[in-house]
Amino acid sequence: MSLLGEDIVTEDGEFVINMGPQHPSTHGVLHLKIWLDGETIKRVQPHLGYIHRSIEKMSENLSYRNFIFATSRMDYLSAHINNEACALCVEKGLQIEATPRAQVIRILMAELTRLSSHQLWWGCTGLDLGAVTPFFYAFREREAIMEIMEETCGARLTMNYMVPGGVMYDIHPNFQKRVKDVMKQIKNNLHEYFEILTGNVIFENRTKGVGYLSKEDAISYGVTGPTGRASGVSCDVRKWFPYEGYDKVQFDEILDNCGDCYARYMVRMKEMDQSVSIIEQLIDNIPEGDFQTKTKNVIKLPKGEFYQRVETARGELGVFIVSDGAASPYRIKYRSPNFSNLSAIDHMARGAKIGDLIAIMATLDLVIPDIDR
Amino acid sequence: MTNEEIKLFISAHIPAATFDESGEFLNVIIASEELLPIMKELRSNRDLEFDYLFCLTCIDWKDHLMMVYHLLSKKHRHVIVIKAKITDVNDPQIETVCGIWKTAEFHEREVYDLFGVKFINHPDLRRIFLMDDWEGWPLRKNYVDENMIEI
Amino acid sequence: MDVSEKLIFPGQKHETADGGILITKLDDAINWARANSLWPLVFGTSCCAIEMMSAADAKYDWSRFGFEVARATPRQADLIIVAGTIVMKMAPVLKRLYDQMADPKYVIAMGACTISGGPFFYNTYSVVKGVDHVIPVDVYVPGCPPRPEALLHGMIALQEKIKNEHYFGKKAEKDK
């Protein structure tokens, strides 16, 4: 009997299995119900909510300074970028801007976060597809970035460093030197990533031509981020709707038209290069000045609706604040990238083998608390 | 198309529609019954071609519910916000837009789960986050839960 | 069992005060083996799971203390590290996983969410406020999320707890 109390063989002779909520390759507590004909997938139905923490309801009772912390626990691998989205949205309502110094610090932090997130994804993809070594290689660089984060923000994972008007503290005196060291280390070591996994025959066979998603479907499903760009959809928010001065730095939007797992893998690998390049452009050019614009102790947004989007490591995160003039938001909606990306999984997995589903999930790079919120 | 042209286009289809340009995007407020035809038109018209529904949500204003659809055109790069007002709070119903944008299927299930809005013709309308036997619609303003500890 | 109690069947021995030399030494041997080969279940719901992964990587390396054999199935695991928030929908699943584990089994509550609901204590309708409402907990590790060192400390504390357990003799009766 399955978890849902239904039969495991349907009338058509299809075999129904439940993958998750406790499964090592679902990266958390995703529950997929899969209809199989032999080994071929007929249908996939995601069951969500195993980590639905009601962040939106909670935020309705928190002040505009305090609601930001919960977003670091949503997509914890891009915690900085989530905080940034909230801070930007409140700033949009107040019609202020962060100081130039704060803006550059924010970009640097966001790109470091993106790097560490992609590194963790790379390690986990290896684990899912049967290679354990990448995990250790990925954490070598990731730990170096975590140390920088800890030195400046005081936390390794859930930083809560962005506040409306800037950042909470100034950067640590060692920051620039350590970032440069890490960038050097990453540039020297990035080729190892390709040597270990990219050219591997098993890896290529398991990812090439698997989990195809066309451009039209990607747009219709609202798929964004590296997953969308691997299907040829230009959707980088940093290019489309530049924020924080992303229009002043040089970087490319990586696009690939193949739309399969291997394309998604390559897009993320190339994005790491771009992040390194952004950081190198800015690390010596942090403007002097204040790290925070002065704001009132109790922030009250004017009546109205404010929408801010940013590019997290997984795609487009939208923060939609509805204000009725009070000191806490009337309604907050997070448009999370993973939620939309996951909705395409049924479409991508149909007709594939059960083993391919692991590759599809690995390259979608899902973070479950971001889906459930 | 500029905002003015979009306004003229929508006014031609729905004379009763009201507009609000105070925010970042052009807001169009319509009644919930008029939603589906205008959405189909917005998606298929060659000059508009809103192919990307990037946010779908609902706001509980106590006396009515407001469905909010954020639309973007990848080709023309314009954004529009369609708001559909549902006046019946006790039994809110609206047509689904699943057939136009596939992403709506999950987002509408989320709105059903948290607000209790019933989407007519939705292929698979079940609770998405909470257990099937959960009582009440948590994000409604009148939701009470004895387990919830309020500050 | 009290020494003055009547013997029930022939050949039954009197219990000595602390179990006697042989049994105490046997306890020690078993505890030593159990404490140094705890196999954790791969169970992570949210942020704490990433710090748990960090504890497994080369820098912090929990295999120094015998934890490296992480198992994906509860039937092969001795230890469940509850890493992340437990919500109402997940609670029955966690209980079922715990029930499927073979005795002796241990639980570490990692992070503020599992101790009390943590940051999700107020105004949430779906969070279980402390994992000890669902399963018994041996060691609590505070933090949001705890550092890998904190998790290692919690695991070593659990080892010490195991080393003081008694499976034979008088104290075992008491422990029950």
**Model confidence over C15-66: pLDDT tens digits?**
555 656 666 678 788 888 888 888 888 888 888 888 888 888 888 888 888 8
Tell me, yes or no, whether A208 lies in a domain.
yes
Tell me, yes or no, whether A122 lies in a domain.
yes
- Return d(Cα A302, Cα A297) in angstroms, integer: 16
H or E, element range at A354: helix A354-364
pLDDT band for position C172 (cuts 50, 70, 90): very low
Q: What is the dihedral of CA C29, C30, C33, C35, to 10 degrees?
A: -110
Chains with 3+ CB–CB pairs under 8 A to A are B, C
CB < 8 Å from A in window 121-150 of B? 127-131, 138-139, 150
Q: Do C126 and A52 touch (CB under 8 A)?
A: yes
Rounded to the nearest angstrom, the minimum Cα separation between B139 and chain A is 6
Task: Encode chain B (151 residues) as per-residue pLDDT tens digits.
Answer: 788 888 888 888 888 888 888 888 888 899 888 888 888 888 888 888 888 888 899 999 988 899 999 999 888 888 899 999 998 888 898 999 888 888 999 999 999 999 989 998 888 888 888 888 888 888 888 888 877 887 7
Tell me, yes or no, whether A41 lies in a domain.
no
Rounded to the nearest angstrom, the minimum Cα separation between C61 and chain A is 10
Q: Which residues contact B27 (CB under 8 A, 6 or more apart)?
A: A305, B19, B20, B21, B81, B83
A13 vs B127, more confident: B127
Helix (H, G, I), strand (E, B) or coil at A296: coil
Tell me, yes or no, whether B80 lies in a domain.
yes
Average pLDDT taken over every residue of chain A = 87
Per-residue model confidence (pLDDT) at position C173: 47
Nearest chain A residue to C148, by CA: A156
User: Is the pLDDT score of A184 beyond 60?
Assistant: yes
For residue C123, what is the domain's CATH number?
A: 3.40.50.12280
Which site among B24, B54, B71, B73 would you substitute to test the A interface, given the most A Cβ atoms closer than 10 Å to its Cβ?
Answer: B54
Q: Do B148 and C125 touch (CB under 8 A)?
A: yes
Average pLDDT over residues A99-111: 91
Per-residue model confidence (pLDDT) at position A11: 76
A73 close to C83: Cβ distance less than 8 angstroms: no
Nearest chain A residue to C51, by CA: A157
Which site among C89, C125, C133 would you substitute to test the B interface, given the most B Cβ atoms closer than 10 Å to its Cβ?
Answer: C125
- Quickly list DSSP for chain B: --HHHHHHHHHHH-TT-EEE-SSSSEEEEEEGGGHHHHHHHHHH-TTT---EEEEEEEEE-SS-EEEEEEEE-TTT--EEEEEEEE--SSS-EEE--TTT-TTHHHHHHHHHHHH--EEET-TT---SSS-TT--S-TTSTT---TTPPP-
Outline where DSSP puts E strands in A209-337: 304-311, 316-323, 331-335
User: Is the pLDDT score of A285 beyond 60?
Assistant: yes
In terms of Cα–Cα distance, which of B112, C76, C136, C92 is closest to A31?
C92
- Return d(Cα C47, Cα A34) in angstroms, integer: 27
User: Is the pLDDT score of A239 beyond 70?
Assistant: yes
Q: Do B150 and C124 touch (CB under 8 A)?
A: no
Tell me, yes or no, whether B102 lies in a domain.
yes
pLDDT band for position A189 (cuts 50, 70, 90): confident
Tell me, yes or no, whether C46 lies in a domain.
yes
Outline where DSSP puts E strands in A185-291: none
Residues of chain A contacting residue B25, judged by C-beta atoms under 8 Å apart: 307
Per-residue model confidence (pLDDT) at position B37: 87
Tell me, yes or no, whether A44 lies in a domain.
no
Average pLDDT over residues A58-82: 88
Bridge partner list, B68 = B57, B83
Per-residue model confidence (pLDDT) at position A111: 92
Q: Name the residue among C43, C126, C127 with its Cβ closest to that of A22.
A: C43
Average pLDDT over residues A267-282: 90
Per-residue model confidence (pLDDT) at position A2: 44
pLDDT band for position A200 (cuts 50, 70, 90): confident
Residues of chain C contacting residue A369, judged by C-beta atoms under 8 Å apart: 45-47, 84-85
For residue A63, what is the domain's CATH number?
A: 1.10.645.10
- Return d(Cα C52, Cα C67) in angstroms, integer: 11
Q: Is C162 on the interface with A (CB under 8 A)?
A: no
Tell me, yes or no, whether B106 lies in a domain.
yes
Q: Do A53 and C127 touch (CB under 8 A)?
A: yes
Tell me, yes or no, whether B44 lies in a domain.
yes
Interface of B with C (CB under 8 A): 129-131, 138, 143, 145, 147-151
Average pLDDT taken over every residue of chain B = 87
Per-residue model confidence (pLDDT) at position C1: 46
Q: Do C126 and B150 touch (CB under 8 A)?
A: no
Span A71-95, pLDDT tens digits: 888 888 889 899 999 999 999 888 8
For residue B16, what is the domain's CATH number?
A: 3.30.460.80
The encoded tokens of residue A245 equal: 């001065």
The encoded tokens of residue C131 equal: 């994992």
Query: Can you give the pTM of this predicted structure?
Result: 0.87
Residue B59, domain extent: 3-120
Residue matched to tokens 């620039």:
A176
pLDDT band for position A334 (cuts 50, 70, 90): very high
At B3, which amino acid appears? N
Per-residue model confidence (pLDDT) at position A9: 77
Bridge partner list, B83 = B29, B68
- Return d(Cα A231, Cα A227) in angstroms, integer: 7
Tell me, yes or no, whether A276 lies in a domain.
yes
Residue C85, domain extent: 38-164
Average pLDDT over residues A305-327: 90
Number of domains in chain B: 1
Q: What is the ipTM for the molecules in this complex? A: 0.90
User: Is the pLDDT score of A104 beyond 70?
Assistant: yes
Tell me, yes or no, whether B135 lies in a domain.
no
User: Is the pLDDT score of C4 beyond 70?
Assistant: no
Number of domains in chain C: 1
Tell me, yes or no, whether A176 lies in a domain.
yes
At A246, which amino acid appears? Y
User: Is the pLDDT score of C169 beyond 70?
Assistant: no
Number of domains in chain A: 1
Average pLDDT over residues A34-56: 89
Q: Do B143 and C125 touch (CB under 8 A)?
A: yes
Tell me, yes or no, whether C9 lies in a domain.
no
Residue A342, domain extent: 52-372
Helix (H, G, I), strand (E, B) or coil at A30: coil
